[in-house]
């Protein structure tokens, strides 16, 4: 099951396979055990399983290609064999010889095929949810199971998706609303269903490649080929529980069992695996392998929480750190990062990170999301990256964090570019702290989804977004194409409760003079027509080493100008 706050003993890493990356969670010590998730989720769904098994094993929870944080396979319709081959590449990169595997649904089929293809690499596998689907039933599932709605301008596809995920607990297949298709499972409440929806939205095509590969798997033909110990199991309410009985029997290496109690299933699965366990291993707590792309993803695991970063190759000219706005993520800054990388011609490393609780970073393990505490976290990240100095480009709410970072002991910030700064008078700070972030508490019926959608959409129309009156209308052209709004909505949903917490804690601090005492050369900027021009101009006038610049409304279009600011100042410092 998902966890709202993951166990800090579970760390996250990447295996680099050329220009693609595979993300995994790591915990415990002992023999290596791979946990493989269902479609369309990620290893995050197996958080409680990772904790349970980590008492006895070195547990590696893998995001399949195209799910979670793992890059998709290049093929449009890979079969299960391709997923199994990718798993073998990951195991090899981690320096593992033989492994144990526990898989659920799609993960079960990948694990089974891995055991069949690579018996010398698999000590034993628990297969929880093998399919046997053929003929008209297969054609029907392939035609309808992963139906995806068009992303609509008004966001109506989000309630549709929420209803579909609820129906997956009520019916199998979910689209057949008949008595015969009704399941006897408890319906998910809003809290546990929310991370499932987030994983669904981020998976390639809503998980369609994995579903297609799993449904199409020829288990009848493949069962006879397996030679390693297999524990073929189901929990009785599972709609796939009867599928193994469709097969023409099992080889002697297969043990078959159906459970009524999940705790018994969990205990006996672990006992089976430990009875066939290979030797204990020591897996590196660092990402491994060479990356051949431009921007590499990584997780920096710190004492104050895990931080997701994207970074280009190290450059001789130093590093530029990009900080996103509240309710956003480093993904939103990808166009700016690419333009800056080209503008510097690879001479500078471009690093963007997800603020705590946002994007793919974990919660902050410090008391409160104040600018000073987040600056401490970012300082930990930069030290792990071997950086003692950095230039910072910050947008919106993160301008307060950038100013705090520039005051951090042990770190040199030479240049600050602060775009659309959140430098408000006291009364406006109090009002925004109380009202700016949307209500993102997941309701049982998905009420929070449209709140997130209209926050993402109306932020392009008004400042602040939740005051939709003519006096607050933005004069620039809005970017409200459905695909763009969808991307911003996903960022807001991923932030969840961290969004209002960040806004509240940042704006609760006394920051009447946010630039006071800074030694960094500071350029205060506003994007044209974004509602921050007068505030940015006023802030620049109050700081000794600050100047004001008006940038294009599209942040990426201002990349060359931002790069020129940093180039000039970098050259001045070098002289």
Residue 271 and residue 306 share a domain: no
Give yes or no for a contact between 375 and 514, defined as CB atoms under 8 angstroms apart.
no
Q: Evaluate whether residue 512 is within a structural domain.
A: yes
**By C-alpha distance, which of 9, 230, 13 is closest to 100?**
230
Residue 134 and residue 258 share a domain: yes
> What span, in angstroms and rounded, lies between the C-alpha atoms of 199 and 232?
27
**Letter string b/e over residues 242-269, b meaning 16 or more CB atoms within 10 A of that residue's CB:** ebbeebeeeeeebeeeebeeeeebbebb
Give yes or no for a contact between 366 and 390, defined as CB atoms under 8 angstroms apart.
no
Residues 6+ apart with CB under 8 A from 321: 351, 352, 353, 378, 382, 390, 391, 392, 393
Contacts 24+ apart (CB under 8 A), 431-434: 432/464, 432/503, 432/507, 433/503, 433/504, 433/507, 433/508, 434/504
Residue 326 and residue 223 share a domain: no
Residue 344 and residue 270 share a domain: no
Q: Evaluate whether residue 386 is within a structural domain.
A: yes
Token pair recorded at residue 523: 């350029």
Q: Evaluate whether residue 190 is within a structural domain.
A: no
Residue 485 and residue 368 share a domain: yes
Token pair recorded at residue 131: 């399919």
Place of tokens 């040199």: 412
* E-only strand ranges, 236-285: 254-259
DSSP string, 132-196: ---HHHHHHHHHHTT--PPPPTT-THHHHHHHHHHHHHHBSSTT--STTTB---PPP-HHHHHHH
What is residue 513's predicted lDDT score, i.e. its pLDDT? Answer: 77
Q: How would you write the pLDDT of the chain (575 residues) with one tens digit per residue?
A: 898 888 899 999 999 999 999 999 999 999 999 999 999 999 999 999 999 999 999 999 999 999 999 999 999 999 999 999 999 999 999 999 999 999 999 999 999 999 999 999 999 999 999 999 999 999 999 999 988 899 999 999 999 999 999 999 999 999 999 999 999 989 989 999 999 999 999 998 888 999 999 999 999 999 999 999 999 999 999 999 999 999 989 999 999 999 999 999 999 999 999 999 999 999 989 899 999 999 999 999 999 999 999 999 888 889 999 999 999 999 999 999 999 999 999 899 999 999 999 999 999 999 999 999 999 999 999 999 999 999 999 999 999 999 999 999 889 999 999 999 999 999 999 999 999 999 999 999 999 999 999 999 999 999 999 999 999 999 999 999 999 999 999 999 999 999 999 999 999 987 767 888 888 999 999 999 999 999 999 999 887 889 999 999 999 999 999 999 997 544 444 43
Domain boundary among 244, 275, 306: 275
Strands 296-302 and 319-323: unpaired
> What span, in angstroms and rounded, lies between the C-alpha atoms of 437 and 327?
8
Residue 77 and residue 225 share a domain: yes
Give Cα 530 distance to the centre of its chain: 28
Give Cα 387 distance to the centre of its chain: 25
First to last CA, the chain: 56
Token pair recorded at residue 223: 């069962």
Give yes or no for a contact between 339 and 477, defined as CB atoms under 8 angstroms apart.
no
Beta-sheet strand order (sheet of 20-27):
11-17, 20-27, 58-62, 32-36, 99-104, 122-128, 230-235, 254-259
Residue 217 and residue 314 share a domain: no
Q: Evaluate whether residue 464 is within a structural domain.
A: yes
> What span, in angstroms and rounded, lies between the C-alpha atoms of 336 and 323?
11
**By C-alpha distance, which of 575, 548, 506, 508 is closest to 326?**
506
Residues 6+ apart with CB under 8 A from 480: 153, 457, 460, 461
Give yes or no for a contact between 97 and 278, defined as CB atoms under 8 angstroms apart.
yes
Token pair recorded at residue 475: 């004069």
Its domain, for residue 543, covers 296-574
Domain boundary among 275, 304, 327: 275
Q: What is the CATH number of the domain that holds 453?
A: 3.40.50.1820
Q: Evaluate whether residue 186 is within a structural domain.
A: no
Sign of CA dihedral 469, 474, 475, 481: negative
Q: At what angle do helices 80-93 and 106-117 cross, to 10 degrees?
A: 70
Q: Evaluate whether residue 556 is within a structural domain.
A: yes
Q: Evaluate whether residue 2 is within a structural domain.
A: no
Beta-sheet strand order (sheet of 546-551):
296-302, 305-311, 349-353, 319-323, 389-395, 412-419, 521-527, 546-551
What is residue 568's predicted lDDT score, i.e. its pLDDT? Answer: 58
What is residue 509's predicted lDDT score, i.e. its pLDDT? Answer: 81
Residue 98 and residue 19 share a domain: yes
Helix (H) or strand (E) holding 36: strand 32-36
Q: Evaluate whether residue 286 is within a structural domain.
A: no
Residue 19 and residue 64 share a domain: yes
Token pair recorded at residue 520: 């960094």
Residue 1: CB atoms within 10 A of its CB come to 11
Token pair recorded at residue 330: 């480093």
Residue 314 and residue 253 share a domain: no
Q: At what angle do helices 190-202 and 447-458 cross, to 10 degrees?
A: 50
Strands 349-353 and 305-311: antiparallel
Residue 233 and residue 99 share a domain: yes
Sign of CA dihedral 510, 514, 516, 517: positive
Total structural domains within the chain:
2
CA atoms within 13 A on the CB side of 130: 27
Domain boundary among 246, 275, 304: 275
C-alpha dihedral, 498 to 499 to 504 to 510, nearest 10°: 100
Residue 260 and residue 372 share a domain: no
Distances (CA, A) of 213 to 45, 107, 145, 216, 231: 20, 11, 13, 5, 21
């Amino acid at each position: 099951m998902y966890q709202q706050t993951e166990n800090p003993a579970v760390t996250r890493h990447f295996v680099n396979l050329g220009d693609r990356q595979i993300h995994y969670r790591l915990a415990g010590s002992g023999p290596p055990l791979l946990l493989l998730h269902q479609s369309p989720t990620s290893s995050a769904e197996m958080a409680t399983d990772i904790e349970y098994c980590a008492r006895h094993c070195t547990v590696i929870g893998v995001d399949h290609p195209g799910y979670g944080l793992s890059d998709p396979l290049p093929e449009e319709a890979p079969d299960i064999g391709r997923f199994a081959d990718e798993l073998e590449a990951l195991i090899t990169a981690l320096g593992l010889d033989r492994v144990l595997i526990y898989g659920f649904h799609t993960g079960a089929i990948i694990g089974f095929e891995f055991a069949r293809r690579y018996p010398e690499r698999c000590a034993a596998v628990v297969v929880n949810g093998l399919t046997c689907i053929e003929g008209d039933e297969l054609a029907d599932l392939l035609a309808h199971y992963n139906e995806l709605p068009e992303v609509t301008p008004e966001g109506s596809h989000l309630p549709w998706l929420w209803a579909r995920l609820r129906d997956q607990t009520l019916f199998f297949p979910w689209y057949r609303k008949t008595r015969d298709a009704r399941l006897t499972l408890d319906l998910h409440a809003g809290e546990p269903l929310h991370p499932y929806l987030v994983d669904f939205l981020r998976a390639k095509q809503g998980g369609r490649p994995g579903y297609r590969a799993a449904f199409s798997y020829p288990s009848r033909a493949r069962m006879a080929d397996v030679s390693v110990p297999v524990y073929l199991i189901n929990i009785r309410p599972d709609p796939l529980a009867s599928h193994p009985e469709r097969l023409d029997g099992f080889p002697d290496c297969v043990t078959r069992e159906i459970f009524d109690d999940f705790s018994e299933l969990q205990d006996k699965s672990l006992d089976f695996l430990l009875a066939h366990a290979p030797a204990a291993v020591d897996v590196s707590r660092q990402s491994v392998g060479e990356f051949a792309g431009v921007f590499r993803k990584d997780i920096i695991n710190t004492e104050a929480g895990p931080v997701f970063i994207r970074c280009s190759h190290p450059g001789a000219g130093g590093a530029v750190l990009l900080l996103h706005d509240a309710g956003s993520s480093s993904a939103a800054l990808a166009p700016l990062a690419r333009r800056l990388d080209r503008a510097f011609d690879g001479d500078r490393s471009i690093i963007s990170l997800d603020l705590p609780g946002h994007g793919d970073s974990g919660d902050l393990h410090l008391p409160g999301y104040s600018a000073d505490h987040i600056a401490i976290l970012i300082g930990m990240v930069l030290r792990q990256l071997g950086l003692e100095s950095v230039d910072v480009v910050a947008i919106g709410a993160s301008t307060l964090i950038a100013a705090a970072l520039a005051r951090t002991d042990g770190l040199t910030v030479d240049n600050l570019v602060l775009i659309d700064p959140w430098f408000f008078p006291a009364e406006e700070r109090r009002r925004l702290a109380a009202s700016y972030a949307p209500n993102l508490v997941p309701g049982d019926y998905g009420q929070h989804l449209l709140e997130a959608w209209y926050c993402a959409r109306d932020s392009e129309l008004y400042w602040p977004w939740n005051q939709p009156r003519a006096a607050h209308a933005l004069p620039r052209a809005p970017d409200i194409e459905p695909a763009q709004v969808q991307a911003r909505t996903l960022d807001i949903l991923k932030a969840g409760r961290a969004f209002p917490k960040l806004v509240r804690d940042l704006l609760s601090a006394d920051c009447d003079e946010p630039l006071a005492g800074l030694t960094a050369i500071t350029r205060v900027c506003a994007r044209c027509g974004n509602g921050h021009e007068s505030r940015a101009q006023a802030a620049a006038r109050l700081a000794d080493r600050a100047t004001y610049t008006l940038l294009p409304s599209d942040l990426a279009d201002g990349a060359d100008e931002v790069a020129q600011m940093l180039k000039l100042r970098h050259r001045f410092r070098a002289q």
